[in-house]
Structure 1
């Protein structure tokens, strides 16, 4: 059985998670978030901590619309926030035309390889502070990356553009401060190691084609 100190620590961790989710869903604003996080640390009992998130915990519902039907309606704008936490979006998740992504003292992974995409370009408005964001896209996408970094890094791991028509347009806007943004280019189901091997082969093949295309020099 947990000690009183252990129960308090677990309650604080759960409260931080509830508050982070509430902020991500726009249920509370920044000022309310800061006030409640401070109150969580000052609270001396589990009941006091639970009271700070009572309005943010999901209540039972008898909704008549199945969850699958609600997910089938794509949004034009959405928000994803990781505050002292982590988020992962993989598989067939729905991507809005514009998504505001905030990662503060946290980690996020957005895998777009099998995501349900809207028609037209996709725009990600990124704000990473003391955090890490991994963005995974399939080969062939057009990437318009206008993200700056302040004491941080923005790295793109991709191979040469494939021949043929251009693919999905992805625009990145925002800033990385004391953090990192890494853009990975992988095929569906491909690991990071396998992707690196594939890119090496592609770069080598491109260099060989370019060399053969050069005019022969005079003897």
Structure 2
């Protein structure tokens, strides 16, 4: 059986997690988060700590949601906040036409290869501080990237543009501070190593086509 000190420590850890999740889901603002985190550290009983997160706990329900209805929920929230944690969006998730992504001391991955896309361009406003953000797109997309970096890095890993018109426009705006933003171009199901090998083949083939297109030199 845990000692009172152990129970108190476990309650603090659970409260920090609930508060971080509540902030990420936009249930509380930055000031409320700071105030409650300080109160969690000052609390001397488990009851005091539990009271600080009582409004952030999911309400109990016995209702059963049919699987088809759950899949039909139309949208991912327009705001994604990651604080001292990580978030992954993969598979057939719904992408909003505009999304604000804030990552503070955390990691986030947005995989758009099999996502359900809105009609028209996609805009992602980026604010990454002491964290990492990876965005994965399929080949053929048009990327308009205006993210700035302050003691950080913004990198795009992609091959030569394929022939034809781009299928989708992705606009990125914002800043990266003491952090990294990487845009990966991969086929569905392709890993990082496979993507590197494919890009190398594509660049080599492009160089060969360009060399064949050059006019022959005079003798």
TM-score tier, shorter chain, comes to over 0.9
Query: What aligned pairs does 1:67-146 form with structure 2 within 5 A after superposition?
Result: 68-69=68-69, 72-75=72-75, 78-146=78-146
- After superposition, the Cα gap between the structure-2 partners of 1:2 and 1:205, relative to the gap in structure 1 and judged at 3 Å, is farther
Please state how far the C-alpha of 1:45 moved relative to its aligned partner: 2.7
Residue aligned with 2:44, SS: coil
Provide the C-alpha distance between the structure 2 equivalents of 1:106 and 1:113, rounded to a whole number of angstroms: 23
Please state how far the C-alpha of 1:170 moved relative to its aligned partner: 0.5
Structure 2 residue runs of 5 or longer lacking an equivalent are: none
- After superposition, the Cα gap between the structure-2 partners of 1:214 and 1:7, relative to the gap in structure 1 and judged at 3 Å, is farther
Query: What aligned pairs does 1:1-219 form with structure 2 within 5 A after superposition?
Result: 1-61=1-61, 66=66, 68-69=68-69, 72-75=72-75, 78-219=78-219
- After superposition, the Cα gap between the structure-2 partners of 1:144 and 1:54, relative to the gap in structure 1 and judged at 3 Å, is same
Residue aligned with 1:88, SS: strand
> How many residues are matched?
219
With structure 2 as the length reference, what TM-score do the two structures score? 0.92
Please state how far the C-alpha of 1:62 moved relative to its aligned partner: 5.4
CA deviation string 1:122-146 (max 9, x = no partner): 0001100011011111111111001
Q: Which moved more, 1:121-130 or 1:67-76?
A: 67-76
Tell me, yes or no, if the aligned pair for 1:107 and 1:131 is still in contact at 8 Å.
yes
Tell me, yes or no, if the aligned pair for 2:26 and 2:81 is still in contact at 8 Å.
no
Provide the C-alpha distance between the structure 2 equivalents of 1:107 and 1:74, rounded to a whole number of angstroms: 25
Structure 1 residue runs of 5 or longer lacking an equivalent are: none
With structure 1 as the length reference, what TM-score do the two structures score? 0.92
- After superposition, the Cα gap between the structure-2 partners of 1:205 and 1:64, relative to the gap in structure 1 and judged at 3 Å, is same
Please state how far the C-alpha of 1:73 moved relative to its aligned partner: 4.7
Tell me, yes or no, if the aligned pair for 1:77 and 1:98 is still in contact at 8 Å.
no
Residue aligned with 1:55, SS: helix
- After superposition, the Cα gap between the structure-2 partners of 1:207 and 1:3, relative to the gap in structure 1 and judged at 3 Å, is farther
- After superposition, the Cα gap between the structure-2 partners of 1:218 and 1:35, relative to the gap in structure 1 and judged at 3 Å, is same
- After superposition, the Cα gap between the structure-2 partners of 1:165 and 1:8, relative to the gap in structure 1 and judged at 3 Å, is same
Tell me, yes or no, if the aligned pair for 1:71 and 1:94 is still in contact at 8 Å.
no
Residue aligned with 1:17, SS: helix
Residue aligned with 1:44, SS: coil
Residue aligned with 1:92, SS: coil
- After superposition, the Cα gap between the structure-2 partners of 1:132 and 1:76, relative to the gap in structure 1 and judged at 3 Å, is closer
Runs of 4+ in structure 1 deviating by more than 6 angstroms, as ranges, are none
